[in-house]
Amino acid sequence: MRRRVLEGFQISDEAIYCFGDLTAVVTFKGEAIDKTYVGTTFGDFSDAALLNVLMNGQTLNDVQQWLAYIEPDAIRSANPKRKAAIAAVLGDKVETFCGKDGSGKGWVVGFDGTTFAFIADNSEAQPQYIALEDLNVVSTISITSNRIDANSFVVNSPSAEMESWLNRCIGGEL
- Which residues, 6+ apart, have CB-to-CB distance to 65 below 8 Å? none
The per-residue pLDDT for range 112-132, each reduced to its tens digit, is 888 888 888 777 777 888 888
For the chain, what is the mean pLDDT? 83
Instruction: Give residue 21's identity as a one-letter amino acid code.
Output: D
CA distance 48 to 26: 16
**Amino acid type, 54:** L
Q: Which amino acid is at 45?
A: F
- Please list the residue range(s) of the chain that carry CATH number 2.30.29: 79-170
Dist CA 108 CA 116 (whole Å)? 10
* Cα(40)–Cα(18) distance, integer angstroms: 9
Ranges 10-19, 104-113, 151-160, most confident: 10-19
Position 174 pLDDT exceeds 50: no
Is 79-170 assigned to CATH 2.30.29? yes
| pLDDT, position 100 | 83
Q: How many residues does the chain have?
A: 174
Look at residue 7 and give its three-state secondary structure. coil
